[in-house]
Amino acid sequence: MNKYLLISESADNFKNIDKVFSSKEKAEIHYALTSADALDKVKNNFYTLVICDKSLPDYNGKDLIEDIIKINAMINTALVSTLSDNDFHEYTEGLGILKKIPENPSEKDAQELYDHLQKVLNP
């Protein structure tokens, strides 16, 4: 069973990701509302994908992903961003982020993320 970690101060921000991923497979979906909670969960679990909001009250999303990959460099990650594709690539260069997702992703955005992840997991 795949485990997914959704990191946002509001779980409602990722409701469509939860809905789509849960409809596709028997998934275990965890939420973290703070960076400390997210880092603790990553230390104690293996996640197939970690999806991080662009910012939390105590942390920047990119910086949190940097800390997450220091714990486990094999974790696939996605980050919420409003940057253009080129600016996002430059901003996150070297982090190996799987995909940029928009704020409050729609079901279509969630499906695209899920499909992209499946291509990576099952080449």
How many whole angstroms separate alpha carbon 37 and alpha carbon 44?
A: 11
What is the reported pLDDT for 86?
93
- Count the residues in the chain: 123
Please state, rounded to an integer, the average pLDDT across all residues of the chain.
94
Q: Is a pLDDT exceeding 90 seen at residue 1? A: no
- Alpha helices for the chain (secondary structure H): 15-24, 35-44, 61-71, 85-91, 107-121
Q: What share of the chain in percent tops pLDDT 90?
A: 85
pLDDT at 83: 93
Contact by Cβ (8 Å): 42, 5 = yes
Query: What domains, with CATH codes, occur in the chain?
Result: 3-121 (3.40.50.2300)
Record the pTM: 0.93
56-105 pLDDT, tens digit per residue, is 988 899 999 999 999 999 999 999 999 999 999 999 998 989 999 999 99
Residue 26, pLDDT > 90, answer no
pLDDT value, residue 123 = 83
Which residues are CB-neighbours of 49 under 8 A, at least 6 positions away? 2, 4, 5, 75, 76, 77, 78, 98, 117
Cα 78 to Cα 96: distance, rounded to the nearest angstrom: 9
The answer to whether 13 and 103 have CB atoms below 8 angstroms apart is: yes
Rounded average pLDDT over 32-46: 95
Q: Which residue has the higher pLDDT, 1 or 97?
A: 97
Structure tokens at 29: 């979906």
Q: Which residue has the higher pLDDT, 123 or 4?
A: 4
